[in-house]
Structure 1
Amino acid sequence: MARIAFYAPMKSPLSPVPSGDREMARNLMRMIGAQGDTVELVSEFRSHDKGGNVEVQTRLRAEAEAEIARLCHALPEDCALWVTYHNYYKAPDLIGPAVCAARGLPYVQIESTRATSRLTGPWAGFAQAAHDACDVAQVIFYLTANDLITLDRERFGAQKLVELPPFLPLDQLPPEGSRDGPILTVGMMRQGDKMASYGLIAQTLQYLDGDWNLEIAGDGPARPEIERLMAPFGSRVRFLGQLDRAALQSAYDRASVFFWPGVNEAFGMVYLEAQAAGLPVVAQDRPGVRDVLLPGPAYPAPEAGAGALAAVLNQLRRDPLLRKRIGALARRRISERHLIDIATGIFWQAAGPLMETRA
């Protein structure tokens, strides 16, 4: 069994702040170690610069140099591979390439992006650092077709690009839900893209016909504003708050349809969770999102607006047989493409030979 170094420059998997990024990092560590290998979080250094501030970037580079020096000495001698998750222009991997060069370690990345448009402007230096780190990676695992576009266009040398579909940390599907309860939304409550999705949900609810109910799982600093958005619908909208895993699974089990527009989502783990429970999904047809949705059902284009989303919701609400058929197909696709054992196989098929070459 091997010892693997894991690093996430955007956010440590040990961060106390819930997020999709933290959840994915935790899932990746579990996936990589699923066959018994030791996966060690070697650094919690966060290189994230949210605002494009050159002074912040300069400070982070200096801190990164100190972290490089520490790791060159502290990294265990039997470490056989370095894995970096989510290297991009706001949070480049400033330490992995240097440590791997000093220690002679193979270096791979998961969910990296190349943003050539950011090579000028306030993040120019960090964007270049992210590009440089990508160049060092012998394998880059990409999660969506949208990420592949620039990774392939700027592929460095003999670098391998390997699809790693987003996955659930499960080796089998959960029990199938009833599909006869309320509409369900699951999303963090914060400003920006999440708030845009909630705004679109509120607009969509105005077009729903007949009797309906919506449950919303999630919490965050924007909750008061979201509650105001939903206030016109009274008791038909129920806020569940932040749920633990068991309570969230219960919400999926009793729902009829999962509704999350997905404004600027990278892909969205909630879509996988909903489909694993057998729920049909109502979302907009967006890059990244479409990579984790069952092909075939209608996903309205963003420019079609709230009316188009409502039309799909109304159709699904009226037709239990359609919900059952779509839900069954979604569960099958999750079982064939988006479970942890599948991801583990893909990862080690590409990363294993790098360790053998080093040995």
Structure 2
Amino acid sequence: MKDARIAFFAPMKAPDHETPSGDREMARNLMTALRATGAKVDLASDMRIYDGAGDPWQQSALMEAAKPEIARLTEEFAQDAPSIWVSYHNYYKSPDLIGPPVCAALNIPYVQIETSRARKRLSGPWAGFARVAEEACDAADLVFYMTVHDQETLERDRPNGQKLVRLPPFLPLEDLPASSSLDSSDIFAAGMMRAGDKLASYELIAETLALLDDQPMRLRIAGDGPMRREVEKLMAPFGDKVRFLGRLDAEQMARAYRNASLFFWPGVNEAYGMVYLEAQAKGLPVVAQDRPGVRDVLAPGDHPAPKDGPQAMAKTIRSLLNDAALRAELGRLSRAHVAENHLLATARSILTGALSPLIAGAS
């Protein structure tokens, strides 16, 4: 793929967006991995296409706003088209409005990474965007899926000739980072502080901590957002056992992982969660619920079922805090799992193997 040129687009959040998130992180990781194949990768557009509220007017406005961007890119690439177009994270709240028409005009292959089908959304407040997201998915020559949950609907609804390839979530690293010593009493948690599933995870954390009053431990929380005050209220009963670290950059996050003995994030409806990979790469045992998406990145183990509630998570945390040998063994297994399945070499190999024939066939 040395001479290939890839146009990359992330409609939900561009890799250079100012607000950190797992979505932005994965977009950056994908550009790194695509460049690692030897291809030249350019960000085609930084337009954000997202409607989180289910507002038909907003959806129509974004569809109109995309038209001049489509025209600009079609004209810009007319004399020197990229080898292929790759879009990341097309779904009913954030459909790819740009990639399919540009690729059709230029007659180049169109690829999606981490797309999802949601035909139940074809009626209701997101109907306009859901229709376009389905059409964009139908237009893809190749779809890389990251979780088993997404695979099920992609297999069910894929058009004839469309190829599906598993691409596990990954860290943009050639080798594992240095491991935590696991010798502190710190538990580390990290998550955006916003309403919905993230707040639900914080509520579970608070309910779990209430069952661990007898443990000499400290919880350190990285994250910020519009619901920070509500999260602080949830943690107020635990006094100085809980410390808020705020929003951390990559180096600060690495230090927080290194200084902890385990990572705790329940993972309510997480797509998968990059923090799980980062924690495991540092050799931290992870306490999370056994949920779709989350189980695609966690090392095999006895992860509590959601129906078992905070009691099961408290039991797991208690066992880990009181057994250094168990922490060390689970940490070792976590690092081995990431090394085998979730580093740059694996992603590069999968991307090269799937994209090379598509690019060659289009030349």
Please say whether Structure 1 and Structure 2 have the same fold, judged by a TM-score greater than 0.5.
yes
1:270 is aligned, of 268, 275, 278, to 275
Aligned to 1:307: 311
Q: Deviations over 1:222-257 (max 9, x none)?
A: 222211211111111111122221221111112111
Show the counterpart of 1:46.
Answer: 48
Asked if 1 retains the 8 angstrom alpha-carbon contact of 2:122 and 2:128, the reply is yes
Q: TM-score, normalised by structure 1?
A: 0.97
Q: CA deviation at 1:44?
A: 1.5
**Correspondence 1:20-99 to 2 at 5 A:** 20-75=22-77, 77-99=80-102
Match of 1:157 among 157, 160, 164: 160
Moved segments of 4+, more than 6 Å: none
For 1:248 and 1:81, locate their aligned partners in 2 and report how far apart those are by CA, in whole Å.
Answer: 35
Tell me the equivalent position of 2:252.
247
1:322 corresponds to 2:326: yes
State the distance in 2 between where 1:244 and 1:350 align.
33
Show CA shifts across 1:291-348 (max 9, x none).
Answer: 10011x2211112111111011111111111111111011011001000121011011
Aligned length: 358
1:121 to 124, 129, 136: 124
Aligned to 2:12: 10
Amino-acid identity (%): 56
CA distance in 2, matches of 1:35, 1:176: 28
Q: RMSD of aligned C-alpha atoms?
A: 1.1
Distance 2:195 2:59 in 1: 24
Select which of 183, 188, 200 maps to 2:187.
183
2: CA distance, partners of 1:37 / 1:166? 20
* Counterpart-to-counterpart distance in 2, 1:241 and 1:57: 33
In structure 1, the residue corresponding to 2:220 is in which secondary structure? strand
Shift of 1:78: 4.5
Q: Does 1:229 align with 2:231?
A: no
Please give the per-residue CA displacement for 1:7-40, whole angstroms capped at 9, x wherever unaligned. 0111111111111111111111111011332111
**Structure 2 equivalent of residue 131 of structure 1:** 134
Structure 2, gaps ≥5 residues long = none
In the alignment, residue 12 of structure 2 is paired with which amino acid? M
CA distance, structure 2, for counterparts of residue 316 and residue 190 of structure 1:
29
- Partners of 1:108 and 1:13 in 2: CA distance: 18
Q: Secondary structure at the match of 1:349?
A: helix
- The separation in 2 between residues aligned to 1:124 and 1:335, in whole angstroms, is 41
Classify the secondary structure of the residue corresponding to 1:79: coil
